[in-house]
């Protein structure tokens, strides 16, 4: 498919997302070292264990991300992910401080510092739970479309998905937030994962990519979607 | 480069996802560590859960039982209580019962211990020249145990007695 041949970019920002099945020759990326080229497998078709629910969801999410970033050339915004990484890093930092302090000053003297670290750690855990439940909400991609005239703020596209345990219905939701009017529109589809994978567990981009494009185009025009 | 299929998942991840996987593992380890340290702070003992290693406290405790300890300053040690203590120079703590106590007016105590299943008291185990134990040797006092969770398997083989 012509659309899938937008392989021209190994987009620098989003690094090694999963590869598509298109039979293309990997003529790009000559500037990098040979070892790095062999490590990245952007061009290899995605093959996963079809009975493993989380692998299926991850590969579908990654492919949707890839379509949106490479075909429509949006820029990925890492704000949400960075927030989560920061909270986790701070929690681990408290744990490491507690470990080292206790090692250097054996137990009874280290009691107040330990108490402080333990309480802070569990507070951070609480913050992390609230963050992932309310702010992140199963959104795995936030992409910006830069306004070509450079005057209006960016439009934001958000992708979120869900796949229940032991279920085969995959729901993908695309949300469009207009930079100018701050209005929000969303569209979603729910399909069985059997429509996108073949017997051996390879993701067939030819079946998946039109779905994403359809979602996108239905939001890109100005009319409201049901 | 060898084409190892199971590494495909790793190769597909970008820097952020790799870092998140590392963090995930770190968080699991940190949670366990923080729970342990939290127990240490709450009970005041440097080893809040210990495993009984020898049969010297039978029939009360058998090998493999878990003991939950506290080491609060306000609770005085009394005769008949089960304490876990560490002898200077030895790493492994010992679980025995308190036999005799000498107590001074200012609260300073010296005590002697003996295992229920042993024939003699522990003076033979203490350091050369040491006849009494003190508060600083105590790791904690047994407050609860996992005795009820024991499964009644046939009697364990008798290893040479120590501790």
Residue A14 lies in a domain: no
Residue A143 lies in a domain: no
Residue B30 lies in a domain: yes
Measured between CB atoms, which of B26, B29, B40 is closest to A114? B40
Give residue ranges of B with CB < 8 Å to any A CB. 1, 5, 8-9, 11-16, 19-20, 23-24, 26-27, 29-31, 33-34, 37-38, 40-41, 44, 46
Which residues face A187 on adjacent strands? A174
State the nearest Cα–Cα gap between B70 and chain A, in angstroms.
Answer: 13
What's residue B163's pLDDT? Answer: 54
Residue A184 token pair:
């929000």
Q: What is the mean pLDDT of chain A?
A: 76
Give the whole-angstrom CA distance, residue A59 versus residue A19: 10
Q: Whats the size of chain A, residue-wise?
A: 226
In a shared domain, residues B122 and B64: yes
In a shared domain, residues A192 and A156: yes
Q: Which domain holds residue A89?
A: 78-138
What's residue A200's pLDDT? Answer: 84
Instruction: Say which residue, A108 or A152, is predicted with more confidence.
Output: A108
Q: Is B50 strand, coil or helix?
A: strand
Give the whole-angstrom CA distance, residue A104 versus residue A27: 56
Give the whole-angstrom CA distance, residue A210 versus residue A204: 11
Residue A30 lies in a domain: no
In a shared domain, residues B102 and B138: yes
In a shared domain, residues B33 and B53: no
Is the Cβ pair A91, B33 closer than 8 Å?
no
Q: For chain B, give percent helix, strand, coil, nearest 5.
A: 30, 25, 50
Give the whole-angstrom CA distance, residue A38 versus residue A48: 20
What's residue B36's pLDDT? Answer: 92
Is the Cβ pair A121, B34 closer than 8 Å?
yes
pLDDT, tens only, A65-120: 888 888 888 888 888 888 899 999 999 999 999 999 888 888 778 888 889 999 99
pLDDT, tens only, B37-86: 999 988 888 889 999 988 888 888 888 889 999 988 888 888 999 999 99
Confidence of residue A49 (pLDDT cuts 50, 70, 90): confident
Q: Which domain holds residue B39?
A: 1-43
Residue A2 lies in a domain: no
Give the whole-angstrom CA distance, residue A102 versus residue A109: 9
ipTM: 0.73
The CB-side HSE value for A162 (13 A sphere, CA atoms) comes to: 5
How many helices (H) and strands (E) would you count in chain A? 5, 5
Q: Is B110 strand, coil or helix?
A: strand
Measured between alpha carbons, how far is residue A112 from residues A34, A105, A145, B144 in Å? 53, 11, 50, 26
């Amino acid at each position: 498919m012509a659309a899938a041949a937008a392989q021209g970019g190994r987009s620098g920002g989003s690094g090694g997302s999963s590869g598509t099945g298109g039979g293309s020759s990997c003529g790009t990326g000559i500037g990098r070292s040979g070892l790095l080229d062999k490590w990245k497998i952007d061009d290899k078709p995605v093959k996963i264990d079809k009975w493993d629910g989380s692998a299926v969801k991850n590969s579908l999410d990654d492919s949707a991300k890839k379509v949106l970033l490479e075909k429509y050339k949006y820029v990925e915004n890492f704000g949400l992910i960075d927030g989560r990484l920061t909270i986790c890093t701070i929690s681990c930092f408290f744990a490491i401080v507690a470990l080292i302090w206790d090692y250097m000053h054996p137990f009874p003297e280290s009691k107040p510092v330990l108490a402080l670290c333990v309480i802070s750690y569990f507070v951070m855990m609480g913050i992390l739970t609230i963050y992932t439940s309310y702010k992140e909400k199963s959104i795995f991609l936030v992409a910006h479309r830069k306004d070509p005239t450079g005057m209006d703020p960016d439009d934001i596209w958000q992708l979120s998905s869900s796949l229940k345990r032991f279920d085969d219905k995959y729901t993908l939701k695309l949300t469009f937030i207009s930079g100018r009017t701050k209005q929000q529109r969303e569209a979603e589809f729910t399909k069985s994962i059997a429509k996108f994978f073949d017997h051996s567990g390879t993701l067939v981009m030819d079946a998946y990519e039109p779905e994403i494009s359809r979602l996108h185009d239905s939001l890109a025009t100005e009319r409201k979607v049901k | 480069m060898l084409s190892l299929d199971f590494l495909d998942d790793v190769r597909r991840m970008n820097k952020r996802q790799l870092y998140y996987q590392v963090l995930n593992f770190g968080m699991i380890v940190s949670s366990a560590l923080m729970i342990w340290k939290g127990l240490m702070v709450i009970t005041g003992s440097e080893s809040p859960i210990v495993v009984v290693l020898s049969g010297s406290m039978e029939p009360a405790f058998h090998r493999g039982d878990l003991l939950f300890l506290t080491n609060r300053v306000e609770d005085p040690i009394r005769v008949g209580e089960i304490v876990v203590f560490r002898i200077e120079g030895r790493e492994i703590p010992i679980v025995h019962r308190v036999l005799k106590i000498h107590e001074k007016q200012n609260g300073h105590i010296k005590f002697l211990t003996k295992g229920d299943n042993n024939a003699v008291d522990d003076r033979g185990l203490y350091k050369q020249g040491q006849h009494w134990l003190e508060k600083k040797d105590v790791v904690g006092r047994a407050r609860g145990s996992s005795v009820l969770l024991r499964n009644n398997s046939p009697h364990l083989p008798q290893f040479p007695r120590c501790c």
